[in-house]
Each structure stands twice: as C-alpha cells, then as structure tokens.
C-alpha cells in the first residue's frame, strides 16, 4: 500500500505506474481516492473544530458553575449536547470514508523500481545471469516421479486415496533427501548470520491482508472453517507478521531471519505435464529468508538475498540463472523481484525454484511496522526470498545428479545430512 500523501501529491506518477503494470482498469481509482481523501480531511477538520469548541465550552461551564451562574451554565450544557450529536455523525462519516479509502488503496499497486523492465507478463521477464554450466547427459533422463518410483521414494496413488490430487508420500532415501536438503539449507543460512525460526503455520486475516494482495489471497490461501485463521502459503507470511504493530529501534535493524515451515496452497487451475508430480502441489515444505531493514538498505539486502539462493544451489552442483520479473509479472505489493531458476537436463531448459522480492514499505505500512530513528518514526522495508523448497528443488537435484545406472549422486556438502551416503541406489 503506497502512502496516501504521495498519491495526493503525485497522482500522475501513480497513474503512470498503473499503466506500466498494464492495469488500466485501476486508473479511475486514483481520482476516486483523491476525492474521498479531500472529503475525509474536510470531515475531520469539522470534527476537530467541534471537539475544540466542546472543550472550550466545557471550561466555560466550569467557570460559570464556580461563579454560581447555573442558568447560563445549563444553556452551555445544552449547546454541548447539541454539538455531541453532530460530532457523532461526523465521526461515523470519518470512519466510513477511512474504510473506503483503505479498501481502494489496498488495490492500487505499489510503485515499482525505476529499473524494472516493462512487460505484460512472465514471457517478457529478462534473464540477468547464468551460474554453472548446464549439462545434458548422453543417456535419457526420465520424468522426476519415475526416478523417484524406481528408487521406491514416492507413492502418489496412496496419497490420492488419502488426500486427493496434489499430495504425495515421500519414502525411504528420497524422504531422507528431502529432509537433508531442508537441514542443509537451514545451516547454510545460519552460517550467513541469519537467525533460525520456526513460525506459526496459521495466521489471522489481518496478517494475510497485510502481507499480500486480495488476488493472491484468493488464489493461494486455505481458510480454516469457523475461525479467523488461514494456513500459510509460505513462512514469509507469519515471519513478517511477527512484527505487526511494533516500533523497532533503528539500532536493532536489520532483522534477518530464516524460517522453516510447511506451506499450503490451492494451486487453482489445470497444469501441463511438467507441472504434475511434485512440481505444483497443495502441501510442501520450505526454508525461507526475510529481512526487515532501513529503506536505504533494502536494495543492498535484495542483492544479498537472491545471491544466497544462487550460492546454495551452486554448492549442490546445480546450474541456475536469475530472471528479473517485468512490471506486469510483479505482484501488486512488490517493488522489484528476481526469480532463481534451476537447470532441467530433462527439459533442456530452466524452471523456477525460488523468488526474491523487495516490497519497499508496502507490507510495513499495512502491518504498522515502524522504526524509531534519530529523526522520528518511519516505516521499515521488508524483503523475502526462498532459500529452498524441496519439492521443486528435488526435481532439479534428481535430474542433475542422476547417473546412467539410475543411482543418484550425493554432493559432498549434503553427505553428512544423509548419514555419510554418497549415492542413492
């Protein structure tokens, strides 16, 4: 959510930002907010005037009573009573206007970074850099679930009977590999100075609307029936929510946290062959990183966060590349975003395994995450990035470490987490 003062003073800049995101249907909202904001400020001024007048008259009543002029005091009391009704009406109007403004402001997209490429959708995202040499082996690489099934590592049929499509049982060494990757990623981030955290796996609606747009919420979140609780789609949600309605002392920044959690997503719609198996699923586990920092430091932290993911994948000998999301592919709260994509020898192309985002002060403004600095209070900046999400990471891992005899090579750094195993056979 952008600053109402910025919108009031720079309506054309806000409109141009909407055009860059190809959301022209929202252009009229800017003028609507300006009109409602003017009415709101005028209403507030009238209410403030009545409150000031009430305080003035109250003092006069006290003076008149002290002087024994009860009749005049009673007339003043009647005036206060009459004003009270008007004040109540104005306060109700204030609240109504404030709710209308907030509802619209929650839909107007955040101002994107000046260097974000302009494009309509993900087909116009821009490759930044490749890391590692993509390899296509001379032998055929099966679909990832076939690799797992040959190693007795997955049971999709039982999962469909128990929970439906989009779920799985991981078994044996593949299940162990899944846990090993999570544990390795946890220690990797701790070694880089991040504080480890296991957050709540459910959050209230005010946190949901604080961390994401309404469109994302509807497409992703599972609601707990009969309660004001949602299952998290990523631990970033509850990790940023940890700071809701807080004032952080400037010297305590940055807050750098890495978190483990299960994640739950609706994943609506039909998906192609390559998105079946464990690519798009309703339940998975993930290691995440978040940063809460000073505004001037968020570009630097953005660069550090996506680099962490690149470094982790390269430590496992998996080639990756970074992709910058264009304007039309950015969620409404984001200022800038990179995807990290891993090489798929089977598909002979890269696919997304993580996403790094700078959200500016959008989440902090919604959640009231403020910083107490030398020159007063201001809103923090928040960032998040996937360290690793094993279902997709497992696909990349299995394909890039598959050997011709069907066994899976275990890189040196992961062997301690696999009980010293060098291969899965």
pLDDT tens-digit map of 222-233:
999 999 999 999
**Could you tell me the two tokens for 302?**
């953005």
* Residue 274: per-residue pLDDT: 47
- Where along the chain do the CATH 1.10.287.40 domains lie? 4-105
Question: What is the four-CA torsion angle of 394, 398, 400, 402, rounded to 10 degrees?
Answer: 170
4-105 belongs to CATH 3.90.1010.10: no
pLDDT tens digits for 16-57? 999 999 999 999 999 999 999 999 999 999 988 888 877 777
Distance of CA 347 to the CA centre of its chain: 29
- Find the mean pLDDT for residues 124-134: 97
Task: Give the residue from 151, 172, 116 showing the smallest Cα distance to 336.
Answer: 116
Tell me: pLDDT of 58 over 80.
Answer: no
* Residue 269: per-residue pLDDT: 52
* Residue 276: per-residue pLDDT: 60
ω into residue 326 within 30 of 0, thus cis?
Answer: no
- What CATH number is given for 122-424 in this structure? 3.30.930.10
- Where along the chain do the CATH 3.30.930.10 domains lie? 122-424
* Residue 72: per-residue pLDDT: 76
∠ Cα 294 192 242 (to 5°): 50
Task: Report H helices in 192-259.
Answer: 205-211, 214-220, 235-241
pLDDT tens digits for 338-357? 999 999 999 999 999 999 99
Neighbours of 286 (CB within 10 A): 25
Mean pLDDT of the chain: 92
**Could you tell me the two tokens for 175?**
């299940």
Task: Give the residue from 124, 123, 144, 49 showing the smallest Cα distance to 87.
Answer: 49
Sign of the torsion angle spanned by Cα atoms 411, 413, 418, 421: positive
* Residue 275: per-residue pLDDT: 46
pLDDT tens digits for 61-73? 777 777 777 777 6
* Residues facing 283 on adjacent strands: 264
Task: Give the residue from 243, 211, 373, 194 showing the smallest Cα distance to 295.
Answer: 373
**Could you tell me the two tokens for 416?**
């301690």
């Amino acid at each position: 959510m952008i600053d109402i003062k910025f919108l009031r003073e720079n309506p054309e800049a806000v409109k141009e930002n909407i055009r860059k995101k190809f959301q022209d249907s929202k252009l009229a909202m800017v003028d609507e907010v300006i009109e409602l904001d003017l009415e709101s400020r005028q209403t507030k001024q009238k209410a403030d005037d009545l409150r000031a007048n009430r305080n003035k008259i109250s003092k006069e009543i006290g003076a008149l009573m002290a002087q024994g002029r009860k009749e005049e005091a009673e007339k003043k009391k009647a005036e206060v009573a009459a004003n009270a009704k008007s004040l109540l009406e104005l306060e109700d109007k204030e609240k109504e206007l404030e709710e209308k403004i907030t509802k619209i402001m929650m839909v107007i997209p955040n101002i994107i970074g000046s260097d974000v490429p302009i494009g309509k959708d993900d087909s116009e995202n821009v490759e930044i850099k490749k890391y590692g040499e993509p390899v296509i082996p001379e032998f055929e690489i099966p679909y990832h679930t076939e690799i797992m099934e040959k190693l007795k590592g997955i049971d999709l049929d039982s999962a469909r009977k128990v929970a439906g499509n989009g779920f799985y049982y991981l078994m044996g060494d593949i299940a162990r590999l899944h846990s090993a990757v999570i544990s390795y990623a946890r220690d990797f981030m701790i070694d880089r100075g991040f504080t480890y955290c296991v957050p709540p796996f459910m959050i209230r609606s005010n946190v949901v609307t604080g961390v994401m747009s309404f469109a994302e919420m509807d497409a992703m979140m599972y609601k707990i029936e009969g309660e004001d609780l949602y299952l998290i789609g990523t631990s970033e949600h509850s990790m940023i929510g940890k700071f809701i309605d807080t004032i952080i002392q400037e010297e305590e920044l940055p807050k750098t946290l890495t978190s483990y959690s299960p994640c739950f997503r609706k994943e609506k719609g039909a998906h192609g062959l390559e998105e079946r198996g464990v690519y798009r699923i309703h339940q998975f586990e993930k290691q995440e990183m978040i940063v809460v920092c000073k505004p001037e430091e968020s570009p630097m932290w953005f660069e550090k966060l996506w680099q962490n993911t690149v470094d982790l994948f390269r430590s496992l000998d998996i080639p990756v590349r970074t992709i910058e999301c264009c304007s039309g592919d950015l969620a409404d709260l984001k200022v800038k975003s990179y995807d990290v994509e891993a090489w798929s020898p089977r598909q002979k192309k890269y696919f997304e395994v993580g996403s790094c985002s700078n959200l500016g002060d959008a989440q902090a403004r919604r959640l009231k995450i403020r910083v107490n600095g030398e020159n007063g209070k201001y809103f923090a900046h928040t960032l998040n990035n996937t360290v690793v999400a094993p279902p997709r990471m497992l696909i990349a891992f299995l394909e890039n470490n598959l050997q011709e005899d069907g066994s899976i090579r275990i890189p040196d750094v992961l062997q301690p987490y696999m009980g010293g195993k060098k291969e899965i056979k």
